[in-house]
Structure 1
Amino acid sequence: MSSTKELESSSENGTAAHVLPEDDSELQKKAVRKLDYTILPVMTMFYLLSFLDRANIGNARIAGLQKSLHLTDHQYQICVTVLYVPYIAAELPSNLLLRTVGPRLLMPTLLTLWGIIVTLQGLVTSYGGLIAVRTLLGMVEGPMFPGIVLYLSSFYTREELSLRIAFFFSSASLSGAFSGLLAAAIQNMDGVGGKPGWSWIFILEGLFSILMGITGFFLVPSTPRDSKFLTDNQKDIIMRRLEKDRPSIVPSDRFSIREVLWSLRSPHVLLLFVLFFMVGTTLYGLALFLPSIVNQLGFSPVKSQLLSVGPFAVGFFVTLLSAYVSDRYKSRAIPSAVIASLSVIGFAIYLSTKDKFTAYGSLFLTVPGVYASAPTLSAWMANNSEPYYRRATSIALGFVATNAGGILSTWRFPTKEGPRFRNTTIMDLTFSALVVVGSIVNALLLSHMNRSKKLRRDTLLAPYTVDEKNPDGGVKAWMELGDRHPDFTYTL
Structure 2
Amino acid sequence: MASEKVQDDVFDEKIDVVVNATELPPSPSQIQARFETLRDLDDEQMATLNKELLRRIDWRLMPTITIMFLMNYLDRINVSNARIAGLQDDLNMSDAVWSTGISTFYIGYLIGQLPGNLWLARVRPSLLLPGMMIGWSICTICMPAVTSGVGFCMVCFVTGLCEAPFFPGITLMTSSWYTKEENPMRMAIWHAGNTISNIISGFLAAGILHNMGGMADSTAGSGSSSLRGLSVSSLASQPSSSCQTGRRIHAGYSAEQEREIARYRVLVSNGGKEEQVGGTWDGLKDAIKDPFTWMFCGMHFSLINAQSFKDFFPSIIKTFGFSELNTYLVQAPPYAIAYITACLCAWSSGKFRESCYHIILPIVASAVGISLMISTPNIGARYFGSVLLVSGTYNGLNLQLSWETTLVPAPRSKKAALIAIANCVSQCSHWFSPYFFPTKHEPFYRLGGGLILFGCLCTVLLCWAVKWWAKRLNKKLDEAEGYSEHSGVERGWSVSASIAAF
Give the TM-score range, shorter chain.
0.7 to 0.9
Give the AA of the match of 2:202: G
Mapped contact 1:34–1:229 kept (Cα < 8 A): no
TM-score norm. by structure 1 comes to 0.85
- Report the counterpart of residue 317 of structure 1 in structure 2: 340
Q: Pick from 323, 328, 331 the counterpart of residue 305 of structure 1.
A: 328
Identity %: 25
- 2:65 paired with 1:30: no
Distance 1:54-1:259 versus aligned 2 partners, 3 A rule: same
Distance in 1 between the 2:356 and 2:25 partners?
34
Supply the RMSD in Å over aligned alpha carbons.
2.3
TM-superposition CA deviations, 1:180-218 (whole Å, max 9, x none):
11111111454xxxxxx23x1111111111001232112
Instruction: Pick the aligned partner of 1:414 from 426, 438, 441.
Output: 438
Letter in 2 for 1:212: L
Task: Report if aligned partners of 2:283, 2:413 keep a CA contact under 8 Å in 1.
Answer: yes
Partner of 1:184: 206
**Which position in structure 1 is the counterpart of 2:125?**
103
Residue in structure 1 matching 2:274, options 241, 250, 273: 250
Per-residue CA deviations over 1:245-282 (Å, capped at 9, x if unaligned) read 22575363432423312212222221121111111122
Aligned mates of 2:161, 2:456 — CA distance in 1: 29
Describe how 1:297-376 pairs up with structure 2 within 5 A: 297-376=320-399
Contact 2:243 2:258 in 1 (8 A): no
In structure 2, relative to structure 1, the CA distance for the partners of 1:217 and 1:433 (3 Å cut) is same
Which of 86, 89, 92 is the equivalent residue of 2:108?
A: 86
Q: Partner residue of 1:155?
A: 177
Counterpart of 2:15? none
Q: CA 1:292–1:253 in structure 2 vs 1: closer, same or farther (change >3 Å)?
A: closer
Counterpart secondary structure, 1:82: helix
- Corresponding residue of 1:476: none
Q: Which residue of 2 aligns with 1:467?
A: none
Deviation of residue 12 (structure 1)? 5.1
1:456 Cα shift?
4.2
Contact 2:126–2:232 under 8 Å retained in 1: yes
2:471 aligned partner: 447
Q: TM-score, normalised by structure 2?
A: 0.84
Contact 1:34 1:230 in 2 (8 A): no
Specify which of 266, 273, 294 is matched with residue 317 of structure 2. 294
What amino acid is aligned across from residue 341 of structure 2 in structure 1?
V
Residue aligned with 1:25, SS: helix
Match of 2:386, as an amino acid?
A: L
Contact preservation (8 Å) 2:269, 2:499: no
* 1:188/1:416 CA distance change after superposition, 3 Å: closer
Structure 2: distance between partners of 1:95 and 1:155: 17
Q: Does 1:112 align with 2:130?
A: no
Matching residue of 1:212: 227
Deviations 1:81-121 (A, max 9, x none): 10001101111111111133310110011112211111111
1:107-148 per-residue CA deviation (whole Å, 9 max, x = no partner) reads 011112211111111221222221111111001101000000
Query: Distance between the aligned counterparts of 1:365 and 1:256, measured in 2?
Result: 40
Distance, in Å, in 1 between the alignment partners of 2:131 and 2:391 is 31
CA contact (8 A) 1:121 1:203 kept: yes
Tell me if the contact between 2:104 and 2:153 (Cα under 8 Å) persists in the aligned partners.
yes
The match for 1:43 is: 65
Distance 1:14 1:287, change over 3 A: closer
Q: How does 1:126-165 map onto structure 2 within 5 Å?
A: 126-165=148-187
Q: Which runs of 5+ in 2 are unaligned?
A: 1-20, 249-254, 483-497
Q: Give 1:457 shift.
A: 6.5
Cα offset, 1:407, TM superposition: 2.8
Which moves more between the two structures, 336-345 or 242-251?
Answer: 242-251
Q: Conserved in 1, the CA contact under 8 Å of 2:305 and 2:429?
A: yes
CA-to-aligned-CA distance 1:297-350 (integer Å, 9 cap, x gap): 222222111111111111111111111111010011110111111101111212
Instruction: Report the Cα distance in structure 2 between the residues aligned to 1:14 and 1:219, rounded to whole angstroms.
Output: 34
Change (3 A) 1:315 1:121: same
Match of 1:481 in 2: none
C-alpha distance in 1 between matches for 2:453 and 2:203: 28
Q: Distance in 1 between matches of 2:132 and 2:295?
A: 30
Contact 1:345/1:365 (CA < 8 Å) preserved in 2? yes
- Residue number in structure 2 paired with 1:228: 245
2 CA distance for matches of 1:286 and 1:180? 16
Q: Which has the higher contact order (CA 8 A, sep 6+)?
A: 2
Indicate how the Cα distance of structure 1 residues 13 and 47 shifts in structure 2: closer, same or farther if over 3 A, else same: closer
Q: CA deviation at 1:408?
A: 2.8
The AA in structure 1 aligned to 2:421 is L
- The alignment status of 1:64 with 2:86, answered yes or no, reads yes
**Aligned partners of 2:94 and 2:25: how far apart in 1?**
68
Once residues 426 and 304 of structure 1 are traced to their aligned partners in structure 2, the CA distance between those partners, rounded to angstroms, is 24
Amino acid at match of 1:318: T
Q: Which residue of 2 aligns with 1:378?
A: 401
401-410 vs 309-318, which moves further: 401-410
